[in-house]
Amino acid sequence: MNRRGQEFLGSPWRRWSCRVLLGLTGLTVTISSGGLVSKGQEANSPKIVATFLPVYMFTKAVAGEKTEVEILISPGTDPHEYQAKPTDAIAIAEADVLVKNGLGFEEFLDKLIASAGNSQLKQIDTSQGIEPIEEEEHEDEGEEHHHHHHEGGNPHVWLDPVLAQQQVINIRDGLIDAEPNNGEKYAANAAVYIQKLQELDREFKARLTPMQGCKFIAFHDAYPYLAKRYNLEQMAVVELPEDSIAPRDLQRIINAAKEFQVKGFLSESGANDSRIAQISKDLGLPVKVLDPVETGPLDPQHYFTAMRNNLTALEEVCR
């Protein structure tokens, strides 16, 4: 089901190089037509750009420590509100491979790629072969509520450890197509990461199986794949205004909670604590934070830390 791009001939990372020993520092560097590359980075590896944190972590895990991977959207920046910068066009113009989430998540990307003018750019769509879930209708009213509609369906596939495996497979296959000489390395690195994702999936299943059918309301439509995987029920998505909760907002949440008889609410990191605390107090239902893994360190292992924290949060809501 994976679409493989054409292998590059005369790829721009196959450049001449010579080694220079800097005697005073003992540092070995490689001088290439693209500049200086530290010893820790493989001189012949492709220049890879990933769009945002989960895609970066999966890509870095497959590419390996010695292969440079650049990230377009810095962790902590809302990908939904992201505005491309001129430096992004430069990065893509100089890249060999671009790795994206897909499903319409990176709305800015098509225009950015066109402006970069890189005819040899290899694109890897990590959601290729994944059946999308249509986005929920949002329980909101008025223009002050901000939600994000994606034409390709709900894009938050990385929050399902099983679908994350498919994303890693797509990255592996795309990198092998782009640089077959490093195919064994990419395959081995992917196998290690996929094994950890499989272990994570087993943990979710073991701990959430007793809570199957748990109903919750989300304040952000990020969790339908996660809920579907482990037989939980996301009953509604209630979008809240960005400034302060009005009485009508509280009433919408109360009505939804009573209608669907939910066990609790799932918010996202960075939400206004005073608003969430008020909701919890008024309704007598727990409000827990689920991390969409769009912020945090660049270490590929951070995904597992964040997801295990999410597992604990789900247990606390559904118990």
Check if the beta carbon of residue 289 is closer than 8 Å to that of residue 268.
yes
Per-residue pLDDT of 232-255, as tens digits, reads 999 999 887 766 777 888 888 888
Same domain? For 70 and 150 the reply is yes
Domain count, the chain: 3
User: Residue 47 above 60 pLDDT?
Assistant: yes
Residue 30, pLDDT > 60, answer no
DSSP percent split of the chain into helix, strand, coil, nearest 5: 40, 15, 45
Provide mean pLDDT across the span 141-168.
Answer: 77
Residue 37 has pLDDT above 90, yes or no: no
Same domain, 101 and 136: yes
> 183-208 and 302-318 helices cross at what angle (nearest 10)?
10
Task: Please indicate, yes or no, whether residues 142 and 254 belong to a single structural domain of this protein.
Answer: no
pLDDT digits (tens, 9 = 90+) for 163-180: 999 999 999 999 999 999
**How many other β-carbons are positioned within 10 Å of the β-carbon of residue 135?**
19
**Residue 4 domain flag:** no
Minimal CA–CA distance to 193: which of 204, 183, 185, 205? 185
Percentage above 90 pLDDT, the chain: 65
pTM, 2 dp? 0.82
Q: State whether 52 and 107 are in the same domain.
A: yes
Whether residue 281 is contained in a domain is answered as yes
pLDDT band at 57 (very low <50, low <70, confident <90, very high): very high
**pLDDT for position 270:** 67
Give domain status of residue 5, yes or no.
no
Domain-terminating residue out of 162, 183, 201: 201
Q: Give counts: helices (H), strands (E), the chain.
A: 9, 11
| 188 within domain boundaries | yes
Residues 21 and 69 in one domain: no
Residue range 66-88: mean pLDDT, rounded: 91
Q: Which of 183, 201, 219 is the last residue of a domain?
A: 201
265 belongs to a structural domain: yes
Cα dihedral 306→307→311→316 (10° resolution): 30
Do both 75 and 182 map to the same domain? yes
Whether residue 76 is found in the same domain as residue 135? yes
Residue 275 pLDDT greater than 90, yes or no = no
Q: Are residues 132 and 218 in the same domain?
A: no
pLDDT band at 117 (very low <50, low <70, confident <90, very high): very high
Whether the pLDDT of residue 225 is over 60: the answer is yes
CB atoms within 10 A of CB 93: 14
Q: Given this model, what pLDDT does residue 38 score? A: 33
Domain that holds residue 20: 10-41
| pLDDT at 87 (0 to 100) | 94
| Residue 36 clears pLDDT 80, i.e. is over it | no
Say yes or no: 122 and 139 in one domain: yes
Residue 246 maps to which CATH number?
3.40.50.1980
Within-domain flag for 279: yes
Across the range 22-45, mean pLDDT stands at: 40
Residue 3 lies in a domain: no
Strand partners, 100: 125
| Confidence at residue 86, expressed as pLDDT on a 0 to 100 scale | 93
- 177 plus 218 within the same structural domain: no
How far is the C-alpha of 48 from the C-alpha of 97, rounded, in Å?
5
In a domain, 294, yes or no: yes
Tell me which of 143, 175, 201 is where a domain ends.
201
The CA–CA distances, whole Å, from 192 to 53, 61, 63, 157, 199 equal 19, 9, 12, 20, 11
Confidence of residue 201 (pLDDT cuts 50, 70, 90): very high
Decide if pLDDT at 33 tops 70.
no
DSSP class of 42 = -
**One domain for residues 55 and 145:** yes
Residue 29 — φ and ψ, nearest 5°?
A: -130, 165
Same domain, 118 and 152: yes
Q: 51-55, 207-211, 266-270, 293-297 — which is least confidently predicted?
A: 266-270
